[in-house]
């Protein structure tokens, strides 16, 4: 397929800028882009990347787009409509300025322009500052995947969940709660026939960093939280925060919750993560955002790389193998087996430009693909 033939010069320019962004993000390789394509839902454009697209449109068409554009424009056609409206509004404003050349009028015009520029710069600063593996040859008589083992697993897991919940609500320091929770989790892993091997070491804990990992099973977060030597702060969506059992556990164990979605919410979320990094904590982020029953890495969202660039901290790539075999996505029946966690070489931000962040994302994604054995 090819991109649709534009009906006007403005449409050509809009499609050109969108295509350049998609190519940089390595999205829409089949070239299905049209003026009616939904950039986020159909093509997978990260909401933080929309800020870069907005800035590019402003340079191309020499307009200033309002912040509401992120709420209203989901397709290239809607972006073009916003550009046309902004251009019309600025023409009207220009006529008004010509009729009002008083010092007050000139000062107000300059103030409005500076306010608009400051808003855009602030938005840009906030965004610049977003398995395979072999199963263990376990000789347990409880065969993996069998109904008997599944029943046995639930007999173990229900008391485990309750004990972790109690730890989350008891008046304890986060450090003591973490140590107790990790000890309980290790005992349960042994009882379930799940072994975890960690290959490599995290950097010196004196400097904050972001741990970025593939995400192929619901147990990935638990495995990293429990078996990495350095304490990490798990990052999750606000959708999880208010869940009665899991949400309370995650809050009690120091999880940071952020909004995902449109650019202004994502930019604010990056700001929260930057402040967390600056407080000296190590963040744990799954750039894929969610798990999928299909093997292979999916598109990485930019939040982790925006955070690393804005706080000038390294990202440590981590690959997890075997967790998909222990607990498949969408399944409630676990199996005994081995999970291997491989820690890669930290990757430092090369700069704060959008292209630098995309390049960092690609480098980390390639490293994780090698470590986990799941190519895209």
- The predicted-structure confidence for 244-258, as pLDDT tens digits, reads as follows 788 888 989 889 888
- The predicted-structure confidence for 95-154, as pLDDT tens digits, reads as follows 554 555 554 444 444 444 444 444 444 344 333 333 333 333 344 444 444 677 778 888
Q: Is residue 282 predicted with pLDDT exceeding 90?
A: yes
Q: Are strands 315-321 and 337-343 parallel, antiparallel or unpaired?
A: antiparallel
Residue 58's pLDDT band (cuts 50, 70, 90): confident
Continuous H helices in the chain: 9-25, 47-61, 69-72, 76-99, 103-128, 147-169, 174-191, 220-227, 238-241, 246-252, 263-278, 303-311, 323-326, 354-372
* pLDDT at 314 (0 to 100): 94
* pLDDT at 111 (0 to 100): 41
User: 289 with 304: CB under 8 angstroms?
Assistant: no
* pLDDT at 125 (0 to 100): 38
Distance CA 239, CA 76 (A): 29
Measured CA to CA in angstroms, residue 207 lies from 51, 172, 176, 281 at distances of 30, 26, 22, 9
Based on its alpha-carbon atoms, the radius of gyration of the chain, rounded to whole angstroms, reads 24
Burial code (b: 16+ CB inside 10 Å, e: under 16) for 274-294 equals bebbeeebbbbbbbbbebeee
- The predicted-structure confidence for 129-141, as pLDDT tens digits, reads as follows 333 333 333 444 4
> What are 341's strand-pairing partners?
198, 320
* pLDDT at 49 (0 to 100): 81
Vertex 44, ends 273 and 256: CA angle to 5°? 20
Q: Which CATH code is given to the segment(s) 9-127?
A: 1.10.1200.10
Tokens standing for residue 331: 């399944």
Q: What secondary structure letter does DSSP report for 205?
A: T
Enumerate the domain spans of the chain: 9-127, 131-372
Half-sphere exposure of 310 (CA within 13 A, CB side): 28
181-210 average pLDDT score: 89
* pLDDT at 207 (0 to 100): 87
Residue 376's pLDDT band (cuts 50, 70, 90): low
* pLDDT at 64 (0 to 100): 87
Q: What percent of the chain has pLDDT over 90?
A: 30
Task: Specify the CATH number for 131-372; select among 1.10.287, 1.10.3470, 3.40.1130, 3.10.170.
Answer: 3.40.1130
Distance CA 220, CA 322 (A): 10
């Amino acid at each position: 397929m090819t991109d649709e033939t534009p009906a006007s010069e403005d449409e050509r320019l809009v499609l050109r800028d969108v295509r350049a962004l998609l190519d940089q993000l390595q999205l829409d390789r089949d070239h299905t882009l049209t003026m009616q394509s939904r950039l986020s839902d159909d093509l997978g454009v990260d909401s933080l990347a929309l800020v870069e697209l907005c800035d590019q449109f402003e340079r191309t068409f020499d307009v200033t787009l309002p912040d509401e554009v992120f709420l209203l424009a989901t397709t290239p056609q809607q972006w073009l409509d916003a550009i046309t409206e902004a251009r019309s509004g600025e023409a009207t404003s220009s006529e008004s300025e010509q009729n009002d050349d008083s010092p007050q009028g000139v000062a107000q015009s300059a103030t409005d322009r500076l306010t608009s520029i400051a808003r855009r710069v602030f938005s840009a600063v906030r965004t610049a500052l977003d398995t395979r593996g072999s199963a263990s040859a376990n000789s347990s008589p409880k065969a993996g995947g069998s109904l008997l083992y599944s029943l046995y697993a639930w007999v173990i897991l229900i008391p485990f969940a309750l004990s972790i919940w109690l730890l989350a609500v008891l008046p304890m320091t986060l450090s003591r709660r973490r140590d107790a929770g990790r000890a309980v989790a290790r005992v349960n892993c042994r009882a379930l026939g799940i072994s975890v091997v960690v290959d490599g070491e995290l950097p010196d804990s004196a400097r904050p960093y972001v741990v970025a990992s593939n995400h192929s099973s619901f147990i990935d977060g638990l495995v990293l939280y429990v078996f990495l030597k350095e304490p990490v702060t798990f990052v999750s969506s606000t959708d999880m925060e208010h869940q009665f059992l899991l949400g309370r556990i995650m809050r009690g164990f120091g999880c940071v919750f952020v909004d995902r979605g449109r650019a202004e919410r994502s930019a604010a979320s990056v700001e929260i993560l930057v402040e967390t990094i600056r407080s000296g904590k190590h963040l744990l982020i799954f750039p894929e955002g969610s798990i999928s029953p299909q093997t292979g890495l999916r598109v990485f969202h930019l939040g982790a790389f925006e955070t690393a660039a804005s706080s000038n901290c390294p990202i440590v790539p981590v690959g997890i193998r075997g967790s998909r075999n222990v607990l498949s996505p969408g399944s409630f029946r676990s199996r005994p087996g081995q999970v291997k966690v491989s820690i890669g070489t930290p990757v430092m931000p090369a700069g704060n430009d959008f292209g630098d962040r995309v390049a960092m994302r690609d480098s980390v994604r390639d490293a994780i693909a090698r470590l986990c054995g799941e190519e895209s």
